[in-house]
Structure 1
Amino acid sequence: KPAEAVTSCEEGGEAVDIAVMLDTTPFYAESGGQVGDIGMMRTPGGATLLVSDVTKAGGGELFVHTCRLATGTLRVDDEVTAEVDETFRRRVRAHHTATHLLQSALKQVLGEGTSQQGSLVDAERLRFDFNLPRGMTDEELRRVEELVNEWVQEAHTLEVATMPIAEAKAAGATAMFGEKYGETVRVVDVPGRSMELCGGTHVGNTAEIGGFKIVSEGGIASGVRRIEAVAGAAQVEYLTGVDRIVRDLSGRFKVKPDGVLARVTALQDELKSTAAEVAALKGQIALVKTAALASQAESLPGGGSYLVAELDGVAAADLQGAALSLQQKLGERGAVVLLSPSSDGKVSMVAAFGPTVVADGLQAGKFIGGVAKVCGGGGGGRPNVAQAGGKDASKVPEALALAREQLLAHFGA
């Protein structure tokens, strides 16, 4: 629904977002990668509003609060009492200061050329984008995480000051990516660890962060990597979830939590071994079925033989070997076309032609591609052997008939 200006809003009306504009507010407005605060507003007349986001407008002179009216009636020019959700802000503060420490740790581990390319700081996590032409190694990630946690445990008291931008840069303060600064800036300093130009909310002491955990690292663009991490209460929640999963696996495998990895590794090895055995058995089954088909070959005009048949229960990977084996049995003027439907309603197909057949102008790739179209598919390959696939296994009888018809037509039957 398009936004529209209203003079009042009453409880019980349509549940829509209300933009309440104030000239001053205790709420932090979204800026510099940090999300806006949430909380409540109340009027003397009894209206209660739930604030879900705050942004700036009018060149930063006005604050737009995205709200939902919970009770009462709200009117233009009402005075409001604003209450910030301190739990939410506390979680965001931990993530924002942790983001500063993360950038310093990355510079220390990867080099001073590492710089911020973007960020997001909210109550559930932090996200930090930085330039790097490769993925980070496990050892680099471990070291970065260790450094941040060391600095958290060192309990550094943050120092926040306002100063001319030239003075801040001379002191070594790091500017945030994509931000525009005036002549006077706010500097957030974790003494000896991090110094950045920043207008966001932060902890008073790094010990308030509690702990820091990297959740993921990956590429998002050429030369740009992204780290997602959790700190403070969000870190505790994350680790609690991981612990719950490990304990569940521990119970299923009947091993201690520290034995889960070894058990999973053993199961993976068993699965690989079993898969190899199954593949070998399927190959043997395919050979047995292939041998039985050889007797069904029919004569071609002018000499040679052809076989067009359906071979059930043979995987696509084994079908080509079966076709080649049959073609070799039929000789240099042998032509084999095999179709194998699968349980998912699709079909695999292969054409294998002897050298004399190919020399006579019949190309396996073109031939099987035309047959595959009957089943809603396509494919191709070399002149002597080609593989294709179709989406509709119900068309297999039609495809077999077409293959037989075209082979006989080519050889003048």
Structure 2
Amino acid sequence: DGVFVHLGRVSSGTVTVGAAVALKVDGGRRAMIRANHSATHLLHEALREVLGTHVAQKGSLVAPDRLRFDFSHPKPIVAGELDRIERLANEVVRQNEKVTTRLMAVDDAIAEGAMALFGEKYGDEVRVVRMGTALHGDKAGKPYSVELCGGTHVAATGDIGLVRVVSEGAVAAGVRRIEALTGAAALSHLDEQERRLKAVAAALKVSPAEAAGRLEAVLDERRKLERELADARRKLALGGAAASAEGQAPEGETVAGVGFIGKVVAGIPAKELKSLADAGKKSLGSGVVVFVGTAEDGKASVVVGVTEDLAGRFAAVELVRVAAAASGGQGGGGRPD
């Protein structure tokens, strides 16, 4: 206790026990660490305000170029919640209020509402860090963030510059992680996002403000064309568009008194073969349908369908296994029909 250990790398010369050394703080690097550390305090409080007081710190990383904060929460954060968390943190940044520190007895600090980290060991005297003024809810007018902390922080919240959350995800059961940038790093991130937006807008031949709407229209059109293409493939596999339009059954045959349709189709995705088999059963009325889909890479997919009246005689799953084995593959899952 009370001993500070500094780690360093010897770039030239030698180090001996008892030698005098001069220590110098890298001011620029320290300033970025301060901003990121103070931002974790603001984000911690914002998370508790938006998600609930069950949120507790489970870990953190404070680096010169970024920060991450792990916390307890049982489910993903939705976009609206994440936006509000970021907005609350930046409200306190814009207040540009002085960050205060005070040494207190640990019991007195907790009694005054200071947040302590679960599992952390504290001495009889602790350092309490206060930041900003709460603007919402029951805490309005009171200090926004009050935590027990011995680390380095900004002199005023405005020194953080800007808080930008760049990711959110799960790291363990019941533990989420957010990653964020501050100051110049946050501005650089926003500049890059804007550059990408302008590139997308230029490709779509619209303004950046219109890019989202135009992209959604393009995706809607693509989905429509994909549905039409899938329908055309099914009609072609079942005997052609003319036959389907006239309600005629695809060409089939009778094998041992059982209606049968067997077709090899190319260019139809494997996921569409099942709906193709269902359409074939409906068109056939009674019987067994087999569709083999071939792909450019030489792989084949087999789907077998059996109409309800023949389900007692033929098991589609077993027929798939036989067909797969005959073609040198494996398979045999899905519905009984």
Please report the TM-score for the alignment, with normalisation by the length of structure 2: 0.81
Any idea what SS the aligned residue of 2:107 has? Answer: helix
145, 167, 173: which one aligns with 1:194: 145
| Residue 73 in structure 1 maps to residue 25 in structure 2 | no
How far does residue 174 in structure 1 lie from its aligned partner after superposition? 0.9
Contact 2:251 2:261 in 1 (8 A): no
Contact 1:304 1:331 in 2 (8 A): no
Corresponding residue number in structure 1 for 2:202: 251
192, 205, 230: which one aligns with 1:279: 230
Contact 1:364 1:380 in 2 (8 A): no
Q: Following superposition of structure 1 onto structure 2, how do residues 11-410 of structure 1 map, counting pairs within 5 Å?
A: 61=3, 63=5, 65-67=7-9, 69-70=10-11, 72-77=12-17, 78-190=19-131, 192-288=143-239, 297=253, 299-300=255-256, 303-304=257-258, 306=260, 308-323=262-277, 332=286, 334-354=287-307, 358-360=311-313, 362-373=314-325, 374-383=327-336, 385=337
Any idea what SS the aligned residue of 2:5 has? Answer: strand
1:175 & 1:307 partners in 2: Cα distance?
A: 72
Gaps of 5+ in 1: 1-58, 386-413
Contact 1:118 1:177 in 2 (8 A): no
Contact 1:91 1:234 in 2 (8 A): no
2:76 & 2:318 partners in 1: Cα distance?
A: 43
Contact 1:323 1:336 in 2 (8 A): yes
- Segment of structure 1 superposing worse, 128-137 or 289-298: 289-298
Q: For residues 311 and 141 of structure 1, do their structure 2 counterparts lie closer, same or farther at Cα, with a shift above 3 Å needed?
A: closer
Contact 1:93 1:202 in 2 (8 A): yes
How far does residue 96 in structure 1 lie from its aligned partner after superposition? 0.8
Q: For residues 315 and 288 of structure 1, do their structure 2 counterparts lie closer, same or farther at Cα, with a shift above 3 Å needed?
A: farther
Any idea what SS the aligned residue of 1:288 has? Answer: coil
Corresponding residue number in structure 2 for 1:18: none
> Per chain length, whose mean CA-contact separation is higher, i.e. which structure has more relative contact order (CA < 8 Å, sep 6+)?
2
Gaps of 5+ in 2: 133-142
Aligned alpha-carbon RMSD (Å): 3.0
How far does residue 230 in structure 1 lie from its aligned partner after superposition? 1.6
More strand by percentage: 1
Q: For residues 146 and 364 of structure 1, do their structure 2 counterparts lie closer, same or farther at Cα, with a shift above 3 Å needed?
A: closer
* TM-superposition CA deviations, 1:53-82 (whole Å, max 9, x none): xxxxxx663625152x44x33243344333
2:302 & 2:30 partners in 1: Cα distance?
A: 62
The amino acid of 1:61's aligned partner reads V
How far does residue 366 in structure 1 lie from its aligned partner after superposition? 1.5
2:91 & 2:38 partners in 1: Cα distance?
A: 14
Any idea what SS the aligned residue of 2:235 has? Answer: helix
The amino acid of 2:82's aligned partner reads L
Could you tell me the percent identity over the aligned residues?
A: 37
Max Rg structure: 1
Contact 1:102 1:148 in 2 (8 A): yes
Q: For residues 63 and 345 of structure 1, do their structure 2 counterparts lie closer, same or farther at Cα, with a shift above 3 Å needed?
A: farther
Q: For residues 327 and 343 of structure 1, do their structure 2 counterparts lie closer, same or farther at Cα, with a shift above 3 Å needed?
A: same
Contact 1:214 1:229 in 2 (8 A): yes
How far does residue 357 in structure 1 lie from its aligned partner after superposition? 5.2
Please report the TM-score for the alignment, with normalisation by the length of structure 1: 0.68
Q: For residues 337 and 66 of structure 1, do their structure 2 counterparts lie closer, same or farther at Cα, with a shift above 3 Å needed?
A: farther
Contact 1:128 1:227 in 2 (8 A): yes
